[in-house]
Structure 1
Amino acid sequence: MDIQLAWLCLIFPFIGVLVTPFLARISTSVMNFGAVFFSFLAAVCALMLFPLLFSAEALPLESQLVWLHTPITVSFGVLVDPLSIIVANVVAVISFFIMVYCVGYMKGDPGIMRFWMLMNAFIGSMLLLVLANNLIIIFIGWKLVGLCSYGLIGFYYRDEKKYWIGGPEPYSFDTPSACGVKAFIVTSVGDMLMLGGILIMYFYAGTFNVLELYQTAPEWIPEMAATPGMIILVSILLIAGPVGKSAQFPLHEWLPEAMSGPGPVSALIHAATMVKSGVFLIARFIPIFYYGYWTAGVDEAMYFFLIVAWIGAITAFLAASQGLVALELKKILAYSTVSQIGYMMLALGVAGFSQDLLVKGYAAGTFHLMSHAMFKACLFLCAGTVIHAAHSIYINDMGALRKFLPYTWLFMGLATLSLIGVPPLPGFWSKEAVLLATLESQHIVLFLIVLVSVIFTAFYSTRYFGMMFHGKQSRHIKQELKKPHNHVHEGYFPQTFACGVLAAGIVIFGLMGMRVEYALYGLFETQLVQDLAHSTVLSVPSFDKTLIMVLSIGSVLIGVIPAYMFYIARKWDADAVYENSRVVQLVHAFLWNRWYINAFYNWLFVKGVMGAARAVAEKVEIAVDTAINRLTPSGVFGLSGISVWFDRKGIDGFLDGMAYHVQNSAGGTLSRLQNGRIQDYLALAVIIALLVCGIIWLS
């Protein structure tokens, strides 16, 4: 029954994709209810798996259907273990409340059917990734997540000016379609590298099955280590995928532009699905490389943990610093997500630094994933309400919104305090667990980097909250209030309800924080040490938790106090400080331009590639011109005559003729399929997938 629940959990959202167009024929209200209902069913199935965590000795559970048996055995199955249960609940439950919020937020949108189909496909793809039992199916879910994110980030693909992000004037803007393409391309770079790592690992292990990879590690890891540098290469390739999907340095520049989609899409990407997939996959790979170093004695395996930890620390610092000066509300929260994912990566990385840190680092990274999902979902949903109310994406266009949005102020305030790390909210406990694991790794530089990131987080969080809800009304808000039939107010009831439930969950989860942390320690000790038989030493912490709490709270105060004086109490003038200090202006410009990393990427990969392409095209044209002029009599044809004739008669004539015959013979059928609507393509893909699964099941 438990395995069947796992199957149903990932299938229900895909069914929602299929039935949405049919429900739309009845009415929009029925379609809305149906789309949310299937996400609700997925959440219920995930919650029914949760009790298995209290009987960890019964895990893992696996069920699979064989797709191919020769020459490569590929199966489609589900794996139910502590990690997949926890992440599946995060995905399904948080996504359900986001879907409830969408009922109010997307009301009246002409693309609502396409939106519901993409949202359910997004949820289903992420659950497929999390619950799959082998790397091929994980990769299929991985790519589907990327495809759905492309459709949702570029949801407003007509690029109407009101949906542009970036700016404000005179700074440049980005269109939704360009943002979607950027996200898809950047993440695909990491995806292809990761696929290479998976295939190399299969070459040595002879299996894609996750449990078999763990169990046969004593056989294939030493064989891989016999080729110098191979384990380092595989480590880099496997890490590249999570680095891209979770927007970690150096593939982090796509996520700030992912804010071009609707508000709930940002919440789904940042809190429950896409960026968490990279953290999940790193956690999946940890037992393999931990065994390689601490049991098999392969020194190269340690590079996996070093790379993950340093990428996480650098990203946490870099993204938090960019959040200090940003003005777009959702972009500030995006920088926050990048930074907080860095915390998770850091914790998972230090898990391999010593034997006694395996369970602590693994549990700390997973704990922060859980707490971050809850408060970040609440933050983005509240941000959507604020942006709708204020009719602006910039926090300097807001101010004194507390009296207009009292519920949103309360809910977003609780989520912001959790992001900052104020006790007893969950962000404090999970961040403290990450700090403790990092300090016990005895890598002081890593610890100091993440501690400075805590200070930055406290500052920019207090800054955006103060500029939005406190102080004086901005000129923009005053103008909005003067417009007829236009007033700043709370969102629809589904929006307020979803935000309220998430805020209540933050408080409850925070009060249970210590118990959850110790429960995770016990749970992962069973999974990683006993079930997988990894040699490890479970020692008493070498650092007192009280010291970590003092350092954590002290860092929060260092960031909060000046931000409070600048943006809430308004006793200090931030504009005066900026105008009177050349150093502050230079630092502000450096951070505003995102360390110039994005500009460098655009120059190298966009302008550089385009420039190289033009140069090559010119060289080829000159070479062809010279060759043809030598072979043909002057004045008979010449290059222009031959090239024009070849282009028009040869290429265009052939293609036009072929198109004419195809159109006459099969155009009617193809036109009904190739109609340019992504929801139809998505439905067709899901139908084919379900048919294949059904045939396999029956056979």
Structure 2
Amino acid sequence: MATEAVTATGLALMLEYWPAFFCWIIPMVGAVLMPVFNKLGNKFRDYMAVLFAGGAVISTLAMVPWLFSGHTPGDIQITEWISFAGHPLNFGVLVDPISILIVNVVAFISFFIVVYSTSYMHGDEHLTRFWFFFLYFLGSMLLLVVSNNLIQTLIGWEGVGICSYGLIGYYYRDAKERWLGGPEPTPMYPPSHCGMKAFVVTGIGDVFLLGAIFIIYNFAGTVNYVELIQTAPVWLADMAQYPGLIAITAILFLGGPIGKSAQFPLHEWLPEAMAGPTSVSALIHAATMVKAGVYLVARISPVFYIGSYLLNIGEARMFFIAIAIVGGFTTFLAASQALVSVELKKILAYSTVSQIGYMMLGLGLSGLSEEAYVAGLTAGIFHLMSHALFKASLFLGAGAVIHAIHSIYTFDMGGLKKYMPKTYWLMILATLSLAGVPPFSGFWSKDAVFISALVAGTPLAYVLLAVGGVSAALTMAYSLRYIWLTFLAPESEYVHDLEHHGHPPHEAPVTMWGSIAVLVVVMLGISLLGLGGQLSPGINPEIFIEHQIDHALHSIMPHEVELHVPHITLGLKARAWSLSAVLLGIGIFAGRTYYWGSGVDEWNMERTGFTKTVYDFLWNRWYMNKIYYLLFVDGVVLLGKGLHSTLEKYFFDNITPLVSDAFIKAGVSLHKNVEQDVIDKGLNEGVPDAAISLWDHMRKLQTGVLSYNLAYIGFILFVLILLFIFGLNGGI
């Protein structure tokens, strides 16, 4: 049923498959109604925000039975929406195992972020605006996931982008205490700047994506996902007649996901996204915006798999090679930057960039060999779901810490375990999952990526496995670092000052730590299922996701495509587990040596020689941010000033008087020669004089004698009759 458009009236279809529509309509309606609810009271408005987010959760949960039944609705086309050159585009939704899994992750985590926000954002005078952007963001993300075509997806995609601009730049009045970055002399950025940066950088990727969509439509005649996949053998073969075009299209298409998911080279917007409220950071970095790119890569990947292995078009494999390299490199790049950052949320932001890199790496590995396709897709989606839980928990925990001490810097923390024991233990559990410690969910999902590389078995796959392995060791190191600096290091002077002034750090309200606890409990449940699944595969979440992805692919792929579900032997698992164990050991050694309990004041320590060079390199974000600002911000401003001081000053400023004088002289000449001589004398005076002269001559013919007048009339009629006759006969 997934490959056939369901035929029935649009309204009947929407009611029959209501969860797929209500899941995104409900939060969007809630967003629009927020100003109305605000008139009825702040508490009522906040409760309604929770209610509408809960409506999205109920709708997505209502889709779960379709997942277990083995018969998902598939491509539900409601009505013809737009027609392009005779090719209709139908409005509808695509409800298959992949979309059902993702919408449940998005809605579930977003709901608890909303609950958390009722306390975290309590008392904010602009909370109505916050709820509007938050709920519309949620609705746009869910629309993006369930859309059955690229144009609809793009609407949700841009909705997410616009709302992220409003949420990241939420404190757009740019009060100094809301600035991000630093401390001096490191540059600091106001929230309005950070929001604009995210909007512009992700927009660059969106332009690339739009260009790819135009090219695909030109050859395929459709942008419907199912139709694109099923007709791929035809239109990809046509596209292959133009050497290089498929590779270009693949790179352009990946531009959108790379920008939205903050992957190299469009990754620099995400650390500055921390300027928004912490609940926004959790929303963007855990469940929604940054996962949109991962979802889109997974959704369109069957097209390029068909091109690579059914049609044997080498260019099509560029899609997988490019995203695998980008993901692998980004994983290492961001993990290295997290080692030196001193802003708690920014450490987690770098961690998010790195972990998204693992997801992209898994999706890229899926196309490096036929055998790795299902395994790689499974790894990417599994890590997406696992990461959403533990990273949302970590961001919300970081928000609780910042809420308690009113500082974003780790050197202002230390010793907070005794003040915030619940937050501490919840963050410890989530961190163990982030670091990939068995048997936590992060271990199973990250290990799935490593296994995908081993299944692919190509030289590139092994190189990327090594990069991912080093990044895993760095992950453990920076995880130990931020836990130590935040909770276990000696109390900072800042904390002592808070105590001295009667404002010691305090545990978060129950709505905040309770929301974190729910997410951690679910994460622990998945962790235990992963452990038990090694003995009883029927409860293994990885195998469950693999089965669902295999089912989704079989339902939409052309019949001639063969899919391989690899048999993962115990020996292969042992190799991956051994690698993980070694890397964890290295990470623990590094973290314990340089951070945890080392007794070194990391922030104030003196660095010289090679150590200082490496530290400065990482502290300055590999100098990429500076280079980007130099080229695309400062460079453009400098170019504008240069053009003003040269081209405008010496050319336009000098030529302007010349042009002005020339027009004045031309105007004077026209006034004299045309207006005065021709218009005034020729028309204004000449025409009346001619009329008067004609009247003077004609009146002499008026004798007043009736017979003469009748003769005139007769003569004129005779001439008119002759003209009429000759005109009918073609004589004139």
TM over 0.5: yes
Q: Please tell me whether residue 492 in structure 1 is matched to residue 509 in structure 2.
A: yes
If you compute each CA radius of gyration, which structure gives the higher value, 1 or 2? 2
**CA shift for structure 1 position 57:** 4.0
**Gaps spanning 5+ residues in structure 1: where?**
638-699
Contact 2:332 2:470 in 1 (8 A): yes
Contact 1:374 1:506 in 2 (8 A): yes
1:79 corresponds, among 86, 94, 113, to 94
Residue of structure 1 equivalent to 2:613:
586
**CA shift for structure 1 position 630:** 3.5
**CA shift for structure 1 position 615:** 2.5
**CA shift for structure 1 position 62:** 1.8
How far apart are the structure 2 equivalents of 1:541 and 1:501?
32
Letter in 1 for 2:80: V
Q: Please tell me whether residue 464 in structure 1 is matched to residue 464 in structure 2.
A: no
1:78 is paired with a residue of what secondary structure?
strand
Residue of structure 2 equivalent to 1:547:
575
1:32 corresponds, among 18, 39, 46, to 46
Contact 1:267 1:376 in 2 (8 A): yes
**CA shift for structure 1 position 512:** 1.3
How far apart are the structure 2 equivalents of 1:134 and 1:623?
51
Q: Please tell me whether residue 335 in structure 1 is matched to residue 353 in structure 2.
A: no
Contact 1:471 1:567 in 2 (8 A): no
Residue of structure 2 equivalent to 1:250:
265
How far apart are the structure 2 equivalents of 1:528 and 1:221?
18
**CA shift for structure 1 position 531:** 4.4
How far apart are the structure 1 equivalents of 2:135 and 2:603?
49
Which range moves more in the overlay, 8-17 or 517-526? 517-526
**CA shift for structure 1 position 592:** 0.1
**CA shift for structure 1 position 387:** 0.6
1:49-448 equivalences in 2 (<5 Å): 49-69=63-83, 71=85, 72-442=87-457, 443-448=461-466
- Are residues 268 and 2 of structure 1, via their aligned partners in 2, closer, same or farther at CA, if it must alter by over 3 Å? farther
1:256 is paired with a residue of what secondary structure?
helix
**CA shift for structure 1 position 409:** 0.3
How far apart are the structure 1 equivalents of 2:397 and 2:604?
31
Residue of structure 2 equivalent to 1:642:
none
How far apart are the structure 1 equivalents of 2:167 and 2:604?
40
Q: Please tell me whether residue 517 in structure 1 is matched to residue 542 in structure 2.
A: yes
Q: Please tell me whether residue 622 in structure 1 is matched to residue 637 in structure 2.
A: no
How far apart are the structure 2 equivalents of 1:102 and 1:84?
26
Contact 2:103 2:142 in 1 (8 A): yes
2:525 corresponds, among 482, 495, 508, to 508
1:473 is paired with a residue of what secondary structure?
coil
**CA shift for structure 1 position 490:** 1.4
**CA shift for structure 1 position 217:** 0.9
Letter in 1 for 2:467: I
Q: TM-score, normalised by structure 1?
A: 0.88
Contact 2:229 2:556 in 1 (8 A): no
**CA shift for structure 1 position 70:** 5.4
- Are residues 571 and 335 of structure 1, via their aligned partners in 2, closer, same or farther at CA, if it must alter by over 3 Å? closer
1:545 is paired with a residue of what secondary structure?
helix
Contact 2:75 2:148 in 1 (8 A): no
1:544 is paired with a residue of what secondary structure?
helix
1:255 is paired with a residue of what secondary structure?
helix
**CA shift for structure 1 position 631:** 4.8
Residue of structure 2 equivalent to 1:596:
623
Q: Please tell me whether residue 45 in structure 1 is matched to residue 59 in structure 2.
A: yes
Which range moves more in the overlay, 199-208 or 604-613? 604-613
Contact 1:3 1:80 in 2 (8 A): no
**CA shift for structure 1 position 609:** 1.3
1:564 corresponds, among 580, 583, 592, to 592
How far apart are the structure 1 equivalents of 2:405 and 2:104?
33
Contact 2:75 2:226 in 1 (8 A): no
Contact 1:204 1:224 in 2 (8 A): yes
**CA shift for structure 1 position 58:** 3.9
Contact 2:254 2:297 in 1 (8 A): yes
Q: Please tell me whether residue 613 in structure 1 is matched to residue 640 in structure 2.
A: yes
1:64 is paired with a residue of what secondary structure?
strand
How far apart are the structure 1 equivalents of 2:543 and 2:336?
32
**Gaps spanning 5+ residues in structure 2: where?**
1-14, 534-539, 666-732
Residue of structure 2 equivalent to 1:671:
none
Give a deviation string over 1:248-269, Cα, whole Å, max 9, x none: 0000000000000000000000
How far apart are the structure 1 equivalents of 2:189 and 2:319?
36
How far apart are the structure 2 equivalents of 1:256 and 1:89?
27
Letter in 2 for 1:561: F
1:73 is paired with a residue of what secondary structure?
strand
Letter in 1 for 2:513: T
**CA shift for structure 1 position 18:** 1.9
Contact 1:3 1:63 in 2 (8 A): no
1:605-684 equivalences in 2 (<5 Å): 605-617=632-644, 618-631=646-659
How far apart are the structure 1 equivalents of 2:564 and 2:31?
48
Contact 1:213 1:288 in 2 (8 A): yes
2:93 is paired with a residue of what secondary structure?
strand
2:368 is paired with a residue of what secondary structure?
coil
Q: Please tell me whether residue 475 in structure 1 is matched to residue 475 in structure 2.
A: no
Which range moves more in the overlay, 504-513 or 458-467? 504-513
1:74 is paired with a residue of what secondary structure?
strand
Give a deviation string over 1:403-423, Cα, whole Å, max 9, x none: 100100011111111000111
- Are residues 67 and 529 of structure 1, via their aligned partners in 2, closer, same or farther at CA, if it must alter by over 3 Å? closer
Give a deviation string over 1:548-579, Cα, whole Å, max 9, x none: 111112211211233134443x2453649963
Which range moves more in the overlay, 521-530 or 290-299? 521-530
- Are residues 136 and 197 of structure 1, via their aligned partners in 2, closer, same or farther at CA, if it must alter by over 3 Å? same
Letter in 2 for 1:452: V
How far apart are the structure 2 equivalents of 1:13 and 1:633?
63
How far apart are the structure 1 equivalents of 2:582 and 2:105?
30
**CA shift for structure 1 position 530:** 5.6
How far apart are the structure 2 equivalents of 1:575 and 1:271?
29
Identity of aligned residues (%): 45
Q: Please tell me whether residue 8 in structure 1 is matched to residue 22 in structure 2.
A: yes
Q: How many residues align?
A: 634
How far apart are the structure 2 equivalents of 1:575 and 1:504?
34
How far apart are the structure 2 equivalents of 1:184 and 1:558?
38
Q: TM-score, normalised by structure 2?
A: 0.84
2:542 is paired with a residue of what secondary structure?
helix
**Greater RCO structure (CA 8 Å; 6+ sep):** 1
How far apart are the structure 1 equivalents of 2:366 and 2:604?
42
Contact 1:79 1:132 in 2 (8 A): yes
Letter in 2 for 1:504: V
- Are residues 368 and 576 of structure 1, via their aligned partners in 2, closer, same or farther at CA, if it must alter by over 3 Å? closer
Give a deviation string over 1:265-300, Cα, whole Å, max 9, x none: 000000111000000000011100000110011111
How far apart are the structure 2 equivalents of 1:474 and 1:572?
13
- Are residues 633 and 24 of structure 1, via their aligned partners in 2, closer, same or farther at CA, if it must alter by over 3 Å? closer
- Are residues 412 and 576 of structure 1, via their aligned partners in 2, closer, same or farther at CA, if it must alter by over 3 Å? closer
**CA shift for structure 1 position 8:** 0.5
